[in-house]
Every structure is written in C-alpha cells, then in structure tokens.
Chain A
C-alpha cells in the first residue's frame, strides 16, 4: 500500500491537472508569511509541497473569516494557515495534518509598562484582535472590551490611534511589520501568549490530496527544504 501511494497521488494530481486549473489557496497571513507576490515563506512552502505532488497553486489574500467561508463553500480550494479543529465549525473543510508553521500569538502595545503574561493578563484592558482568529478570541472572551477588526491594517490602526490598549497578533508578523513599515512607539509586550501549530485546510472535495501533501511536507521538513525557505524569507534562524 505504501509503495502504491505515490502512484495514487500522481494519478490524483494528474486528474486535477487535467482540468488545467491551479488550485486556489487563500490566506489572511501577511509578510513574511504570505505576500501578494507569493513570496512569503508559507507561500513558498505550499508551492513546494503542492509542486511535489504535481500541482500548482495560486494564492490570494482574503479576510480571515472569508477564507474559511470560501473554502468551506468550495469557492476556493484551500486555505492557510489555521488552528487544528476548524473543521468542526466548517464541515466541508479537511485539515492536512502536518503543520505548516507555528503561530506565536503575542500582545503589542504602545505602553511598555503593561505587564503581559498570558491572555488573562490582558483582560483588564481594551484589546483588539482580527476577526476570525479563533484562538485569541476564545481566550480573550473575558476582556474588558474586545474589539474585532477586519485585518491587520485595521488592527494596527486601532493601536496607533489609541483606541485600544493592546492588540493580539502573530509575533513574527508583528515584529516584521513594525520593522518594515517603521512604526514607532509600538512594541511587543511580554513573551508570546501562546504558540500553536498551524495547518493547511482543503475543501472536502480535495481530501484525496491530503496524504500526498502530508508526505510532501514531512519530506520537506526532513530534507531541510522547510527550514531553508523560512530562513531565506525571515533572514535566518
């Protein structure tokens, strides 16, 4: 069975390719994870993974909630990256059970003196998160005021205008954004709130691709492709 697996993947890939269409993947991640040009490390990892099973992908940016909806409805073929267990809410989603990356949820704010140590330490403050981010949303339910915004631009704008005391964002992306855009007076507050493995989800009609993708991702991690891509994009370990 194990020996015949590559043949099945190949046949499936050929079937998809027969349609002449690249798979559409959507994401709400930003630089350095994903860019409009498809040069984020997650973009490159997935292109490599899909390439290894003989498929090409095109990547589009959507609001966080919309990525779930579109893939769930089959409008798009897959989305990245998400926590495990999203398929419970969106039954047409199939998780590729090999993580793409890790997410470090961290608090950012203008007041360095704000003592942040875990989600509960943010509860007394006005906190903003991106709508559709399930993990911080679930852990900040007790916050004094929790504001949900459309995307990371809106998230940082809330903070810069002083409308919230802190925002919860992915640590790497946040730091890279501050550096890239030259944002002053905004800092990561304390250590990451949580580190979570993040996965690729496909529409259920592509569930046959899951084993191939898992194998490809595992192989990429094993042969150092994964690490090389991340380091290349983020500037090293």
Chain B
C-alpha cells in the first residue's frame, strides 16, 4: 500500500467517514431499539399481567399459597421481569426474583368478582430489569456493529484494491513515464497494461500522449529555432560588429555606454573596455552643430527617443587621440524590459559635410553667375529695345515705326522673362501670374500711353510657375495677341476691354485666353492665310514649340483660347 497515495487516503477517509456513520446509526439504532424494546416489554408485561392476574386472583381467592408461589415464581420466566410480589390484604407476601434497585416498577390491584361485588384481594408488583434490557440491546448493537464494521472494512478493502488496480497503478506508470520523458526530446507514447475501454485513464493517457507529442514537437521546433536564433544572432552580431556605423548603447540610468561594436572602437581609436566606461560628456565636444549646450540638447533628445520617437542629430565627437569628428547620430530606443537604453549609431560624415559645403559654395557661385547672365541678358535686351526705340524715334516712316514698336515690345517681353528669372530664387522657373501682370503693365505703358478708353484686365491663378522654355513663348504669344487687340479691336478711338485669363487646366495643362469686346475679325479670317507675321508667329509658337492648341472666336469681339502643356520641358538648372 502506498501510504501517501490517493487509494490509501481514500481508504482512510472512507473508513473514518463510514465509522462515523456507523457510530451515528448505531446510536440511533440503540435509541430506537431501546424505545421499541421498552414499549414491547411494557406490552408484554401488560399481556403477562392480564393473562396471569386472573389465575393469581383465583389462587389468592382460594388461598392456595403453593399455587400462588408457583405462579409468582413462574412469572420470572417472562423476559425482563426481575421481581414479582403478590401481597394480600393481611400482609402476606409471595415473591420471586431479586428486588435490585433500579429498573422500572409497576403495581396493580388484585380483585375477585364475588357475586355482584369486586373483592379487593391485594396487590401484585412487577419489576423489570432495565439493566438487562440495555445489556441485551448493547449486545445486539455490538454484534450489529461488528458485522457492519467487518462489512465496511471488507468493502473498503475491496474498493481500495479495485482503485489500486483500476486507477492508482496506472497513475504511477503515467507519472513514471512523464518523469522519464521530461528531459528527452523524442517522445515514446505511453501504453498501459490494460485493455482499452475508453475510460478516464485511457482519456488521460491519450491526453498525455497528445500533450507530450506536441511538447516534443514544440521542443524540437524550439531547439531548431534556438539554433537558428543563435545563427541569426551571430549574423546580426556580425552585421553590427562589421557595420560601417559606430554603434553604441547608452544606459540612461547608469549614465554610461554599456555596449559597442568594432566600428565604434575604430571611430574612437580606443578599446571596448574604455568605451564602456565613458558617458556622453566624455564623448561630445562642447561645441555642437546645433549650437545648443550639450547637456540640455542630449537630455531633450533622450526624452524623445525613450518616448518612441527616433532622432537624427549631428554631433561633434571628441576623439581621445585629439581632434573632432563630425557624425550623423541616429538615436533609437533599444529594447529592454527593465532598463532605459538608447541605441546610438554614429556615422562619420566629416568628408560629406566638407563636400556638401564645397557643393553649396559652388552652387551659390553658379547661381550668382546665372543671375548675372540673366541680368546681363535682360540688360542687353533692354539695350536692344532702347536702341530700336531710339531708331523708331528718328524714323518718319509710320509703318517702320509700328514694326519697330512691335519688335521693341517683343524684346521687352523676353527681357522681362530674364528679369524675373534672376529675381527668382529658383533661376529656372518664374511665377506666371506675376510675369503676365508685369508684361501687361509694360504693354499698357508702351501701347496705351494716353489712351484711356481701353482697359486691360488680368485674371491669373495664383501659384502657376513655368520653366523658361515655356514662359518665353507664352510671353511672346501674350504680347502679340494683346498688342493686336489694342491695334485692331478698337478702331476710331473706340473704348473697350481686353481680358487676359491664365488658369490651370486638366492633366497638367495651362489655359491662356486673350479676348476683347472690340469689332472682331473680318468675316472669313484665317490666321494662317490672312494673319501677319505676328499672328503666324503666335500659331507657330503654340502649336509647334509648345505642342499646344489654339482656337479663336469672333462673336462679340475676338477671343483667343490656348491650351499648352506645362510639363513639356524639364529644368536644366
């Protein structure tokens, strides 16, 4: 018997419980039997008394002392009657048995029917032996108890044996099997020495087998994963160690670096042990690219990084061997369950910074140069326009003067482009709205000087910029069409309005419209056939140079509508 096993504990508990139950039931049975037997005895005694009293009364009546004594003695043979005494009125007593103290005592009067009278003969006293009743009941109870105890023990032993056979021995085997297979990787399924019945033990074994099979597979998978993890770790370590960036891990709470790779050793020219003993203040120079005090800047960055926002900053590192190294520092939170760590990746950008400075310097120089070119081109065109203007001034030929004036306008429109370019920061694009408004202002000054009846209105969308290659034809076209409107739409001093509209169209197109409310074009007018040089130039610039479309309408004046692509050219500067 396994003293600590479920079976033995169940056996002890069962025995204790059953013994308690037997004790309680025995006590109850004792009380019930005692009451029942007491009642039964009382009834028996009453029957005995009823049966014997007439005989006794008869013997007493006839003064048959021998019979009376025999009757009295005979009553002792009835169960539990321990003492009988018949006493007549003269005080003569006939008794049998022992008049022990205790027990219950009953006394009855004895009568004899004599004629029509009842003659009092004396008394009969009956005493029952309570002790014997209890003794007998106790004896019965003890026998019953012994039998119950035997049956109980037998049933418990049988149940224990069955439990041992059906449950405990299998549990022991299962436990041993589990112990043997805890450390192993390959799992050998457990098979019990019993016929399979699909009971709880079989279910348990199946569960164990499935569980351990799964555990074994998981363990194998874990082992493979660990191997792979180690390899991955080695690779990652190698990646980190061989990374061009100097990688260092800073413990915020310790206030020093706690890890680094070989690139860090190479960058700082010191060994790992030295690096792991320094803090931020030992590494960073007093003067930093952001111009802030090191302590405040570092603390602000740490707070951001630890809250999950990686930072990219530039730092000047103080190299132990002397000198300053400029690094791009990428800061990110380094995963840790119980420590506040920051991973800092240092990339020496000294060469790049220097190159960037050189490029910036060169670019600035070229920008200045280009601005100068644009400026001089604009000045040259301005000079040319001035020369043509002077020449026109000295000519009497009205036609020549008109042609010259148109040429001056065209040159100014181009000069205005170059002015806008050198005034622009970009140097390759100009703001078209600003350009159109300035161009219209120049046209108004050149061609409407003194004419107040014609108004030129500009409606241009904000933010439209165009490359030089697009802006230049647009300027020439706009100049040509607006000048034509001034020249031909309002004959005889007629008043009117010229409208210039610039807007974005669909799919990267620019919409340019020039209209007037003047007299309009002659019937059957064909720009290709009937137009002069200027109008032909307009059609040529739109359709061939800008790959756009041009249309006109002569209802209620003249309207020229053009659509050009603004992505036809790419910036060259």
Tell me the A residues contacting B by CB distance below 8 Å: 60, 63, 65-66, 69-70, 73, 75, 131-132, 148, 150-151
Please choose the segment from B58-66, B232-240, B407-415, B492-500 that sits at the chain A interface, where 4 or more of its residues have CB less than 8 A away.
B58-66
B66 touches A148 (CB 8 A): yes
Query: For A69, what are the chain B residues with a Cβ–Cβ distance below 8 Å?
Result: 63
In contact, B119 and A132 (Cβ under 8 angstroms): no
Contact A132 B114 (CB under 8 A): no
Q: What are 27 pairs between A and B in contact, CB < 8 Å?
A: A60-B115, A63-B61, A63-B62, A63-B63, A63-B64, A65-B62, A65-B63, A66-B61, A66-B62, A66-B63, A69-B63, A70-B114, A70-B119, A73-B89, A75-B114, A75-B117, A75-B119, A131-B62, A131-B63, A131-B64, A131-B65, A132-B63, A148-B66, A150-B62, A150-B64, A150-B67, A151-B62
How many residues of B are in contact with the other chain, CB < 8 A?
12
Q: In the complex, what distance in Å separates the CA atom of A102 from the CA atom of B115?
A: 30
- What residues of B have a CB within 8 angstroms of the CB of A132 in the complex? 63
Q: Told that A131-B65, A132-B63 touch, could you supply 6 new A-B pairs with CB distance under 8 A?
A: A65-B63, A66-B63, A73-B89, A75-B117, A131-B64, A148-B66
Q: Which residues of B contact A65 (CB under 8 A)?
A: 62-63
In the complex, what residues of A have CB within 8 A of residue B89's CB?
Answer: 73
Q: Total contacts A to B, CB within 8 angstroms?
A: 27
What string of 1s and 0s marks CB contacts (under 8 Å) between B395-421 and chain A?
000000000000000000000000000
Distance (whole angstroms) from the CB of A221 to the closest CB of chain B? 32
Chain A residues with Cβ below 8 Å from B65 are 131
In the complex, chain A residues whose CB is within 8 Å of the CB of B61: 63, 66
Residues of B within 8 A of A70 (CB): 114, 119
Query: In the bound complex, how far is the Cα of B64 from the Cα of A190, in angstroms?
Result: 30
Q: Which of B59-77 contact A (CB under 8 A)?
A: 61-67
Bound Cα distance from A66 to B64, whole angstroms: 10
Residue of A nearest to B88 (CB): A69
Give the distance to chain B from A170, nearest Cβ to Cβ, in Å.
Answer: 19
Chain A residues positioned under 8 Å from B63 (CB to CB)? 63, 65-66, 69, 131-132
- Nearest CB on A from B92, distance (A): 11
Chain A residues with CB under 8 A of B114: 70, 75
B66: A residues at CB distance < 8 A? 148
Name, among B63, B66, B67, B89, the residue most crowded by chain A CB atoms within 10 Å (CB to CB).
B63
Chain A residues with CB under 8 Å of B64's CB are 63, 131, 150
Residues on the B chain within 8 Å of A66, using CB: 61-63
A73 to B89, CA, bound (A): 10
**Chain A residue at smallest Cβ distance from B90:** A69
Whole-angstrom distance between the alpha carbons of A94 and B221 in the complex?
Answer: 133
The 4 closest A-B pairs by CB, nearest first: A65-B63, A63-B62, A150-B62, A150-B64
Shortest A135–chain B CB gap in Å is 17
Contacts of B67 in A (CB 8 A): 150
CA distance A65 to B66 in the complex (A): 13
Q: Which residue of A lies closest to B114 (CB)?
A: A75
A91: min CB distance to chain B, Å: 12
Q: How far is the CB of A102 from chain B (nearest CB, A)?
A: 25
Return chain B residues, CB-CB under 8 Å to A131: 62-65
Measured CA separation A15–B566 after assembly (Å): 176
Q: Which of A65, A66, A148 has the most CB of B within 10 A?
A: A66
| A75: chain B residues within 8 A (beta carbon) | 114, 117, 119
Chain B CB count within 10 A is highest, among A60, A63, A132, for: A63
Residue of B89, B114, B115, B119 most packed against chain A (CB within 10 A): B114
